[in-house]
Chains A and B, each alone.
Chain A
Amino acid sequence: MTSERGPATAYDDRPYTRGGAVDRTDVGALVQSAVDGDTAAWKALVDGLSPLVWSVVRAHRLSDADGHEVYQTVWFRFAQHLGRIREPHKAGSWLASTARNECLKVIKSLRRLTPTDDPLLLDRASEDLTPEQSVLDSEEAAAQSERVRFLWQEFEALGERCRQLLRVLIASPPPSYQEVSAALGIAVGSIGPMRQRCLRRLRARLDARGAL
């Protein structure tokens, strides 16, 4: 596994500069270019931020059908508001909070329809075969595949709050803490400590099963 981050700097000291492949400071410029008609800029925004939107949807455990509709609604509205967004460099936060609001509406509407039942349908992993998946399916990578599935299994079995926080944090490229805050409605300052707790718990689970 490659990590683009240097070793052991406390996240809390740099909540706004978290970020991997896509430099978030480019987001404002990309939004402006997209407003001016640059299709490539729009595509770059989708590539950089759609994993964040998707992770917010998944963090809320919507059914596939609802999740797909929320995801589309968010991007339709973003396109509609493009050029009217007050702080273009915070487009990631805009998308994250819009996705959160739409997710909460879905959950609310399901509660109204089925007041006694658990409204949230269990999600399942997407069946789309990614290039990475294809690699994993090859025989030589079977061991790694098993390890990844094992890790995911333990992640899924974490408590709901931890699962939700981590699902957003592990979007790729990594979201800023402001984006995570917008995605989950939690204060920026509490993300670092929560993350630490959750990862510690996950590590303990993995250790207990003697893997990784």
Chain B
Amino acid sequence: MNGRNGRNGTNDDEPDDFFGEVPFVDEEFDHDRLEEELRQAAAILDPVPAELRRAAIEAYTLHDLDARIAELTFDSLVDAIPVRGAVDVPRMLTFHTGGLTVDVEVTDEGLMGQLLPPQSASIEVLRGPGAGASLTADDMGRFACATPPGGPFALRLRTAAEVVVTEWLRA
């Protein structure tokens, strides 16, 4: 049947194999079993780290229906052709919602941005659940932060008209 009858006929080296006594095990069945064994091995040797599970549970507080989401519409990592030989190119991101555009540039030195149309806003640089660093966009819509996000981040902007949060991403 599958050329492994000798192995399938004995349980000696398969202490927790419920199916070893089945005389005719077709390949599909063997594959299901092998996949299940791998699944258990993964649960033992490569499980979701506990701190990540915790982080995902705590992320619930990021659920916020009051703010509008500014969607990522341009990411230089995906949408721009790399310059040959250029190192440390800034990551250029554009977020968009309704009439508001947020241009962000992330480098090793920090984060700079521009609101369009130009307008002042108070901005929070979120790194996860919990309060983030506070910035202000000036009347020209410019803002800057001296520390790079270095990980997941989102900007929460409070303009005169509305509250907007940029899509979470990693930079």
Contact = CB atoms under 8 A, between A and B. Distances in A.
B15 A143 contact: yes
B128 A42 contact: no
B59 A78 contact: yes
B16 A144 contact: yes
A130 B64 contact: no
Size category of the binding interface on chain B: 35 or more
Contacts of A148: 40-41, 44-45
Contacts of B65: 83
B48 A54 contact: yes
A153 to B, nearest CB: 10
A76 to B, nearest CB: 4
B46 A199 contact: no
Contact of A155 (B16, B41, B165): B41
Contact of A77 (B15, B77, B168): B168
Interface of B: 4, 7, 13-19, 26-50, 52-53, 55-57, 59-65, 69, 75, 77-78, 82, 87, 89, 91, 128, 151-152, 154, 165, 167-170
25 contacts: A1-B16, A1-B36, A5-B36, A8-B32, A11-B28, A34-B60, A47-B53, A53-B56, A72-B56, A72-B59, A73-B168, A79-B61, A80-B165, A83-B63, A105-B77, A130-B47, A132-B44, A151-B41, A166-B35, A172-B40, A196-B27, A199-B30, A199-B31, A203-B30, A207-B7
